[in-house]
Structure 1
Amino acid sequence: MDETFEKRKKIIYEFLCDDIYVPMKLKELAVLLQVPKEQKADLKAVMDALVEEGKVCLSKKGKYCKGEAKRLTGVYQAHPRGFGFVTVDNEEDIFIGEEDTGGAFQGDTVEIAIIKAPEGRRREGKVLRVVSRGVTKLVGLFRIQKDKNYGFVIPDSQKFARDVFVPVEHAKGAVNGHKVVVELTSWGDENKKPEGRIVEIIGHINDPGTDILSIVKSYDLPVEFPEKVLNQAERTADVVSEADRAGRKDLRDWQMVTIDGEDAKDLDDAVSITRDGEHYLLGVHIADVTNYVQERSALDREALNRGTSVYLVDRVIPMLPHKLSNGICSLNAGVDRLALSCIMTVDKKGNVIDHEIAETVIRVDERMTYTSVKKILEDKDPEESRKYEKLVPMFELMEELADILRTKRHRRGSIHFDFPETKIVLDKEGRPLELKPYDRNVATKIIEDFMLLANETVAEDYYWQELPFVYRTHEAPDEEKMRKLATFINNFGYTMHIGVNEIRPKEVQKLLTKAEGRPEESLISRLALRSMKQAKYTPENTGHFGLAAPYYTHFTSPIRRYPDLQIHRIIKDNLRGRMNAAKIEHYQSILPEVAKHSSETERRAEEAERETVKLKKVEYMAERIGETFEGVVSGITKWGIYVELLNTVEGLVHVANMYDDHYDYYEDRCEMVGEHTGKVYKLGQKVYVRVIGTDRLSRTIDFEIIDEGEMDDGEEQYENDCQ
């Protein structure tokens, strides 16, 4: 192997083309070629070059095969640091290095070749060509060049790393500081920036509401309803008619309530409970939205397009017009409403021993709030208990059954990630006044427990009927990711049992239970969550790993989720005897796309919601530059320490801002240690920080660590308020 690199390539390629050659790994090839151990790296470089040239393909198992490199098509996901990943159906994401992106942008459909397949690690690829562009419009900040006839749009999304060049004649009159929507006319290349024209001016960056509206536009969330949809909504009835009630089970004399947050207006679930000897008769009554949203109507097509309601910090973008979502479809107290009810007989061990799914007419007794029910059950508030005296026995029965159901789920291995969600209080101008964790109390848990049981019961019923359906599925996590997690947690004294080709949810649950209350709890919970796959909607039932449930669906929120609306339609066709061969064929043909689209719109909504929360947290802390806070170390990396405050804000103490020493990162122990002082920072450690900077564009917050003695005088009151 003393020849030049090119000669080596030629010799090896000719060898590979020999008919006796079979796919083999690098070490096998090295043996055949009699390559000395010290020259194995040279052989690998030759093989990588042959793969990159397309003369050799590299299998998923790391075997080199003669013939052209296998080409895959997938969607490119960009990373702010320049590299990216390509998502290919039914395969693990493929890493794309910065030099191999081939001019691909976020969301583009691309064709790639695998150039590296290291054993036990993620495969690497190279973009060969862009098949189609995924994004044609971007939202960003316009900057015009002084005394020039052009400007630039700086994209809001960190996944688009390049500014967009805009000639002044295509600027639509935009000025410095305007947030705009720019339509790309050219995607540029290595030497030329992308080019575009401004199609919409959202508003000035400092105008109230512009920040959130920019996120809405970035995610292409539909806001206004088409006139045809609004007209159809206006024609729906305001009251339940006698014809609507015909043929339905009449539950209007059943004692039942809705329990929601104070500001909720679309009330789509009511609950009832009584004793039946030793058993509980639990009713979960869901708004019958399909009575007002007919299949293929303008309302239905718009609801399918939206897929879900989107809950941003300052507004809700509903799936259905308010006339429906807050009116006839909302289970408002004291009025007749149409429902689809799942009435379950539950034994004292939490097993559903009988159930009925029926079209019903109901009348809710009271519109309760989580806070009010908590006061009754948890705080034993005498005034609140007197106010709802007739309902108190029902609430106590609910708490009793919910405890049984929760214990049963825990016993079977259901996993619960208890990350604090943030409630953000805004003023009239949209400025954040207060950040605090959402209160998860006895009432929120009761509703969660009852909805889970109804969803499981309905899913199991329709699974065994072998009818077309939409399930909520959650696949078992990737074994390799779980093994990496198991290796990491060994550093903290934890172990996980991972069987051959089998990972049980009980093992993850046991890990989270062991870590509960420990300094590393937050990190381990986050790592465990990242090791999981995302739940999605599918027409096939494969079970729900996270809930340790063999059957699961989304039945309980048809006002705000399209999959729930879709399965209500299927259930009603079945109950009314209309599920003939033609109907079955119809549903089998549409459900794969309905499930796929619903999963995609759910992802989009979640990302938009997270971005608005991050933005308002940054705005909140931007008003507090120089102020000091108590927090805990929530993460440690080689570039710094992440600190989470009591109000759920997380910021970074960059190593460059750790002035008292040079700090080394020890990955195996997940610690940061001072080289000279020996000072150690560990997960869960209490620290005091000062806010030194914020960045609205990247939505990041920078801290520096201070001594406790440097805390502000008013900090004690702040901590008490948060707690």
Structure 2
Amino acid sequence: MLQSKILTLLAEHDQALTITAIMEKLRFSPDHLPLLHKALLYLVENGTLEKKGSRFGLPAQPAALSATLDLNAKGFGFALIEGEDTGGRDVFIPPHQLNGASHGDHILVMITGTSRNRREGRVVRIVSRAVTRLCGLFTATAKGGHVLPDDNRLPYTLLIRAGDDRGAADGVAVLAEITDYGSERQGPSGRVVEILGDPRSVAVQLRMAIFQSGLRDRFPAEVEAEAAGLTAVTTCSGDRVDLRHLPHVTIDGETAKDFDDAICVEKTTEGFTLHVSIADVAHYVRPGSPIDREAYLRGTSVYLPDTVLPMLPERLSNDLCSLVAHQDRPAFTATLTFDHQGRRISQHYRKSMIRSRQRFTYTTVYQLLNRIAPEMQAPHADLLAMLDQARQLTALLKKQRMARGSLEFNIPEPQVTLENDHVASISLAERNEAHMLVEDCMLAANEAVAETLAKAQQTVLFRIHEYPDPTKLEAFTDTVRALGLIIPEAEVNPAWFARVIRQAHNAPAEYIVNTLLLRTMQQARYSPENVGHFGLAASFYLHFTSPIRRYPDLIAHRVLHALLTGQSNEIHDLPCPEEDKDPVRAGLHLSQCERKAIDAERNAHARMAALFLLDRIGDHFTAIISGVTSSGLYIALDGNFISGSIPLNSMTDDYYLFDARRHRLIGEHSNTVYQLGNRVIVRLDHVDLAGKRLIFSLTSGEQTDEGD
């Protein structure tokens, strides 16, 4: 775009330029003079440029801000300003202000104004390119071919000239390298560096998901070497207390291999004592070591179908640090006492040595608590009383949380089952009483540690969750009313949201209400400033209970240990790698690592859904309408919540009008209504594997009885 070229040119020069100089530097011919003159006058009139005599230049303004570009598939982007934690209010970059920048690029941004309480800006310079390699599908041509990027945030195809295709066959997935980023008139070009294989393969799709998300899937040699040289802790020396007499147990999923938390509950005359013992990762991972630097860069473990990208090497995550049953393991134990109402009355922390009595699964604990499988009672008779006491305590803890307004989202997660490199099924993961029992124990420990460190004025990363955005809150309220729910006439606080959730419980639109509420909320993040956790209605909260898979938990362990041993004093830096000790910067980095992991997991599930339905085109499904727009409907399939869309142009039985306020489409002639939350019968028409999109159509306009 001419205006962008002019602005970029002037941004790169310290002084204003004449129109002749601008023409020369842009290599324009005299024929371009009228068009250039018109563009310059427009930029002067709207205040983007200043005219000083015969020269044109940028107006005096603050220096450009260093940022990373997060590009949306729709063409616009957001600039994530370096060192700035905005809680989701990044700088909006319209498509015409991108200046050729692409997703992930390091850019310089000028703020141009504000719209809807969000700053807007333009890219003035691309400092460095983020995407130098990309995955995609190769299309062969007589002169070579081209690669359609697997990431729809990259709005171009990559030209591959003859001889640079490594013999790739038409339609295969490849890894390509960009050798020339091209220009506005000509797209980028490159070469194929690796042939990945059949895009219908699960293994190929998961590898593409990992590459697209920029995840680290291999540990450097020096990290593996350091991990291999570590020595297991087997004795209680120094300040480590022997707690092997306590009947600790771990409770995890069937496929879990890294056990980082164990619990034990005792009933007392005062009420209950809860021991939450967490793997002592901090003993093995020293600040600034190669393992620590790699763990900080990763920030979190990432869980994909049948694949885990761990934060720590396997020697640590599945061996030395894992609280394996019947083996002595070093831990950091939080001992919390509660009265008969479930109110915490004291807390005590210590390094410990524990021995887990049993590696339980959620299913087994649920069966034991409810005496479902009699044959399982005898082998675990010595632990039944402890589990029953844990059930009693966590029921009280939950009651206390609910009373203060803590939110309980009910959004089942899809569970992918793989067999022989194909997707065998996608179902909803079971969530039972045992899951909630463990969660309540972990929440109690996290809150206690957060309160202890906050009151001791220690520098740590809190897990904060701020008040919802007012604009999103207003939209949520309108939507809930459209679904027929009654909005509480009270102050909007966590308890207000909890009442809405309870009202939707077991209703047809429960999934929609919970999903919309989650979107209304601000993203939880890590910050050295404790502002509380809105969703939990907690004044103090941080992450302490999963240091094997989350770096902020490791920070909390180090800070708490320094406090207990009198080493903290006036420390204002975090116990992180040397260059990232600044608390604000570390909080921003680790929040971004978490979002990258979440995006990668969603990306992988979308790929698995496309593969799962690839051979089911023409099949019919029941679904719930999860979104209504002027361009059509969005739906989620019953039984697995696989998402898809119904384009408006496929609804040819009538002319449909969009009612934005009530979130519905209305047939102009038939008066047929398709509203958010309605259940419909749909047919799968198209699977876009490259775009990870599923296209459906309505079956004869039918709706199920439940949605009428």
Short-chain TM bin: 0.7 to 0.9
Quick check: 1:661 aligned with 2:658? Answer: no
Whole-angstrom CA distance in 2 between matches of 1:450 and 1:461: 17
Deviations 1:90-122 (A, max 9, x none): 56344433333221211224444555645x565
Deviation at 1:460, TM superposition (A): 0.6
Say which is worse superposed, 587-596 or 630-639, in terms of deviation. Answer: 587-596
Show the counterpart of 2:49.
54
Show the counterpart of 1:717.
none
Which of 95, 98, 109 is equivalent to 1:101?
98
Which of 667, 674, 683 is equivalent to 1:674?
667
Deviations 1:524-582 (A, max 9, x none): 33332222221112222222122111111110011111111222122223333333557
How do 1:66-145 and structure 2 match up within 5 A?
68=60, 73=65, 74-88=67-81, 89=84, 92-113=89-110, 117-118=114-115, 120=116, 122=118, 124-145=120-141
Tell whether the 8 Å contact from 2:658 to 2:665 is kept in structure 1 after alignment.
yes
How do 1:21-32 and structure 2 match up within 5 A?
none
Instruction: Look up the equivalent residue of 2:153 and give its one-letter code.
Output: K
Quick check: 1:683 aligned with 2:680? Answer: no
Show the counterpart of 2:463.
472
Which of 311, 323, 327 is equivalent to 1:319?
311
Show the counterpart of 1:263.
255
Show the counterpart of 1:215.
209
Say which is worse superposed, 473-482 or 109-118, in terms of deviation. Answer: 109-118
Whole-angstrom CA distance in 2 between matches of 1:112 and 1:104: 11
Tell whether the 8 Å contact from 2:100 to 2:184 is kept in structure 1 after alignment.
yes
Say how many residue pairs are matched: 648
Deviation at 1:218, TM superposition (A): 1.6
Quick check: 1:552 aligned with 2:541? Answer: yes
Whole-angstrom CA distance in 2 between matches of 1:490 and 1:649: 26
Against the structure 1 CA distance between its residues 129 and 472, is the aligned structure 2 distance closer, same or farther, given a 3 Å change threshold?
A: same
Against the structure 1 CA distance between its residues 113 and 495, is the aligned structure 2 distance closer, same or farther, given a 3 Å change threshold?
A: farther
Show the counterpart of 1:421.
413
Tell whether the 8 Å contact from 2:650 to 2:697 is kept in structure 1 after alignment.
yes
Quick check: 1:333 aligned with 2:325? Answer: yes
Whole-angstrom CA distance in 1 between matches of 2:296 and 2:382: 41
Quick check: 1:202 aligned with 2:199? Answer: no
Tell whether the 8 Å contact from 1:313 to 1:424 is kept in structure 2 after alignment.
yes
How do 1:313-462 and structure 2 match up within 5 A?
313-378=305-370, 380-429=372-421, 431-462=422-453
Against the structure 1 CA distance between its residues 112 and 577, is the aligned structure 2 distance closer, same or farther, given a 3 Å change threshold?
A: closer
Tell whether the 8 Å contact from 1:615 to 1:696 is kept in structure 2 after alignment.
yes
Against the structure 1 CA distance between its residues 110 and 582, is the aligned structure 2 distance closer, same or farther, given a 3 Å change threshold?
A: closer
Q: Which runs of 5+ in 1 are unaligned?
A: 1-45, 57-65, 712-723
Find the residue that maps to 1:388 and give its secondary structure: helix
Whole-angstrom CA distance in 2 between matches of 1:551 and 1:271: 22
Deviations 1:275-326 (A, max 9, x none): 1114100010001112222222222222222211110112111111212211
Deviation at 1:652, TM superposition (A): 1.6
How do 1:178-257 and structure 2 match up within 5 A?
178-207=172-201, 209-238=203-232, 240-242=233-235, 244-257=236-249
Show the counterpart of 1:159.
153
Tell whether the 8 Å contact from 1:342 to 1:357 is kept in structure 2 after alignment.
yes
Deviation at 1:468, TM superposition (A): 2.0
Tell whether the 8 Å contact from 2:410 to 2:511 is kept in structure 1 after alignment.
no
Tell whether the 8 Å contact from 1:109 to 1:131 is kept in structure 2 after alignment.
yes
Find the residue that maps to 2:381 and give its secondary structure: coil
Deviations 1:664-721 (A, max 9, x none): 221111122222222222233222222221111111112222269999xxxxxxxxxx
Show the counterpart of 1:700.
693
Whole-angstrom CA distance in 2 between matches of 1:94 and 1:226: 35
Against the structure 1 CA distance between its residues 117 and 581, is the aligned structure 2 distance closer, same or farther, given a 3 Å change threshold?
A: closer
Q: Which runs of 5+ in 2 are unaligned?
A: 1-40, 52-57
Say which is worse superposed, 68-77 or 388-397, in terms of deviation. Answer: 68-77
Against the structure 1 CA distance between its residues 630 and 264, is the aligned structure 2 distance closer, same or farther, given a 3 Å change threshold?
A: same
Whole-angstrom CA distance in 2 between matches of 1:134 and 1:252: 50
Whole-angstrom CA distance in 1 between matches of 2:175 and 2:489: 51
Show the counterpart of 2:274.
282
Whole-angstrom CA distance in 2 between matches of 1:452 and 1:637: 38
Which of 481, 504, 507 is equivalent to 2:472?
481
Quick check: 1:533 aligned with 2:527? Answer: no
TM-score scaled by length of structure 2? 0.85
Show the counterpart of 1:571.
560
Which of 595, 619, 630 is equivalent to 2:611?
619
Whole-angstrom CA distance in 2 between matches of 1:534 and 1:48: 37
Whole-angstrom CA distance in 1 between matches of 2:336 and 2:157: 58
Deviation at 1:586, TM superposition (A): 6.6
TM-score scaled by length of structure 1? 0.83
Which of 288, 298, 305 is equivalent to 1:306?
298
Percent identity over the alignment is 35
Whole-angstrom CA distance in 2 between matches of 1:195 and 1:103: 15
